[in-house]
Amino acid sequence: MLCNKQSDLCGHVALVGAGPGDPELITRKGWSFILQADVLIYDALVSDELLEEIPSGIERIYVGKLKGRHSMSQEQICRLLVNQARQGKKVVRLKGGDPLIFGRVSEEMQALDQANIPYTLVPGITAAAGCAASCNFSLTERKVATSVRFITAHLSDDTETPWADLARPNETLVFYMGLSKASVISLELQRHGLPADWPVLLVEKGTQKDQRSIRTNLANLELSINQYKLESPTLIFVGQVVGSQQIDAIMRAA
């Protein structure tokens, strides 16, 4: 059966951002799609707290991909979305954070377009914004950080990370999926001009009840990760915005 976007017989896919973990941080639009769903296809980074609030009558299919443990390949996930929609189902593809940021949503949109299946893209609060809010700092700040960059530490090809361009004193860097690349991040940013004592903040399981936030610096980045046995998901914030006394007080209180 081929779907026609004008046909009532065709299902629909909502590509929804779940937010950074706190169930209250999912958007109203995203939650509305979930409540109307026949089937929920969800990632590893969707928090247990949010999953507990989703009605039990909605079918659930886990397609999480953790380092070295992929329940499905991206191609299989794309086929699953198409097959479920072709059965006339209302499908929610639930992704942690914002699917527009390192969520591989373009591949899923392309598969749905090719199958002529209607879909809606619903952005979410990305982990960087959620973690910054939970730790009480701004990602940008006048005269301190005039821009912010989100960087994936895992590239899908031989593309070189532009370390010289990233080592700017007036910018905030946020590394996603960066734990295994911590030594490279530390070495390259220092090699290209940032000082060894440049501020770094590590946030594990941001916005969730078991969040941990660790203050460190570039020189001690890998040491801090090993010392506190941090696990994924952990964001690495680099820049002067995480060097404030306000954050110091939060770290002591934690």
Identify the active-site residue in 29, 38, 65, 89. Answer: 65
Nearest to 233 by CA among 135, 127, 153, 154: 127
Contacts of 231 (CB under 8 A, 6+ apart): 179, 204
Alpha carbons 239 and 171: distance in angstroms, whole number: 6
Q: Are 211 and 25 in contact (CB under 8 A)?
A: no
Task: Measure the CA–CA gap between 224 and 236, rounded to whole angstroms.
Answer: 11
Q: How far apart are the first and last CA of the chain?
A: 55
Q: Identify the active-site residue in 43, 95, 181, 205.
A: 43
Cβ atoms within 10 Å of 193's Cβ, excluding its own: 13
**Catalytic (active site) residue 158:** no
69: β partners = 66
DSSP reduced 3-state for 246 = helix
For residue 46, how many C-alpha atoms fall within 13 Å in the half-sphere facing its CB?
25
Give the residue ranges of DSSP H helices in the chain. Answer: 28-35, 48-53, 74-86, 105-114, 127-134, 163-166, 182-191, 221-227, 245-253
Q: Which residue has the tokens 């002529």?
A: 116
65 counts as catalytic: yes
Q: Would you name the residues annotated as active-site residues?
A: 43, 65
